[in-house]
Amino acid sequence: MFDTMTIVGVGLISGSFSLALKERGLVRHVIGVSRTAASIGKALELGLIDEALPLDAAVDKSDLVYVAIPVDATVPVMQQIMDRVTARQIVADAGSTKHVLCESLAGHPMRSRFVATHPMWGTEYSGPEAAVRGAFAGRACVICEKEKSDAGAVAIMEGIYKQLGMHIVYMDAHSHDMHAAYISHISHITSFALANTVLEKEKEENTIFELAGGGFESTVRLAKSNPAMWLPIFKQNRDHVLDVLNEHIAQLRKFKSCLEKENYDYLRELMEHANEISRILK
């Protein structure tokens, strides 16, 4: 059990993480750090945190520092944190990209106190109000560059995530970013693009609302995601996102060509091949 934990960022991931640790008796006191007073006020009101402090003061009082902020802000904030931590403290992040962050900390004298993690869970909502109980269970948590972190610190973070019901996957930072582009980032770009397509072609908002069924809603759900979080992800993971986006566009062209040429046999083959995903995602 931690006596004191700081969450840097008081939104969906960090707020849900705090709730989960509190419920399981894994932390006694949670400090919140945020750039906005409104977010801090809401986090206090919802019981996500017990106290609010500036970053330096919060780090100095903490056994665990958990960072869940947009990935472009994570690099400078993490440098500030790592410059203050001691050998008794653990620092972990929950960012959706890892290569840039891990590279920025590669030569830091306290690098071993940092555990690079990515719990593969989230919703389209953001802010303290988005935090929920029961998050993370049944999902994967990626730990990157395990060998560069203190073995004891890694074991503690593994134990926490396992108590939240997650299973652990180990990757290097480059592989993580590549696979995240394939599994997560392309889904968000596709959802943003589909939402823009419908907004462009269907000018009647009432029609969208009245006719949109479950299939459309589930596909476009991620378009509600916060651009302030996703723009930095796409920017940091640009090369991998472009790679998977080019393949996605090529697949769309196949479907388009089938319809243009009335090649319905091949169209059926494309759909049947896509059905194979059911073997993996049951």
Domain boundaries, the chain: 2-171, 176-279
- Here the tokens at position 276 are 């194979």
Q: Tell me 110's DSSP state.
A: T
Binned at pLDDT 50, 70 and 90, residue 218 comes out as confident
The answer to whether 2-171 and 176-279 have equal CATH topology is: no
Alpha helix (H) residue ranges in the chain: 12-23, 37-46, 55-60, 71-82, 99-105, 151-163, 173-180, 186-201, 205-211, 214-220, 227-236, 238-260, 264-274
Q: What percent of the chain has pLDDT over 90?
A: 90
Give the pLDDT mean for 179-198.
95
Q: Is the pLDDT of residue 191 over 90?
A: yes
> Are residues 88 and 124 in contact, defined by beta-carbon separation less than 8 angstroms?
no
Which candidate, 121, 26, 11, places its Cα nearest to that of 68?
11
**Whole-prediction pTM:** 0.92
Binned at pLDDT 50, 70 and 90, residue 217 comes out as confident
**Bridge partners, 67 (sequence order):** 8, 93
- pLDDT recorded at residue 150: 98
Q: How many CA atoms lie within 13 A of 137 on its CB side?
A: 6
- pLDDT recorded at residue 206: 77
Q: How many residues does the chain have?
A: 282
Q: Is the pLDDT of residue 205 over 90?
A: no
Cα distances (angstroms) measured from residue 85 to each of 28, 62, 90, 96, 150: 20, 9, 8, 23, 14
**Bridge partners, 7 (sequence order):** 32, 66
Q: Is the pLDDT of residue 112 over 90?
A: yes
Mean pLDDT of the chain: 95
- Here the tokens at position 61 are 């009082």
- pLDDT recorded at residue 11: 96
Give the pLDDT mean for 136-152.
98
**CATH number of 2-171, picked from 1.10.3470.10, 3.40.640.10, 3.40.50.720, 3.90.1150.10:** 3.40.50.720
| CA separation for the pair 163, 151 (Å, rounded) | 18
Number of neighbouring beta carbons within 10 Å of residue 222: 20
Q: Write down the CATH number for the domain with range 176-279.
A: 1.10.3660.10
- Here the tokens at position 66 are 């958990």
Give the pLDDT mean for 8-27.
97
Q: Tell me 189's DSSP state.
A: H
- pLDDT recorded at residue 140: 97
Is the four-CA dihedral 252, 257, 260, 261 of positive or negative sign?
A: negative
pLDDT digits (tens, 9 = 90+) for 30-58: 999 999 999 999 999 999 999 999 999 99
Q: For 134, phi and psi rounded to 5 degrees?
A: 80, 15
Whole-angstrom Cα Rg for the chain: 21
- pLDDT recorded at residue 68: 98
Q: Is the pLDDT of residue 154 over 80?
A: yes
Dihedral (C-alpha) 270, 272, 275, 280: value to the nearest 10 degrees? -90
Which candidate, 184, 176, 109, places its Cα nearest to that of 146?
176
Q: Is the pLDDT of residue 25 over 90?
A: yes
Give the pLDDT mean for 133-161.
97
| CA separation for the pair 228, 235 (Å, rounded) | 11
Answer with the residue of higher pLDDT: 218 or 35: 35
Q: Is the pLDDT of residue 210 over 80?
A: no
> Are residues 77 and 20 in contact, defined by beta-carbon separation less than 8 angstroms?
no
Q: Is the pLDDT of residue 60 over 80?
A: yes
**Bridge partners, 168 (sequence order):** 141
Binned at pLDDT 50, 70 and 90, residue 187 comes out as very high
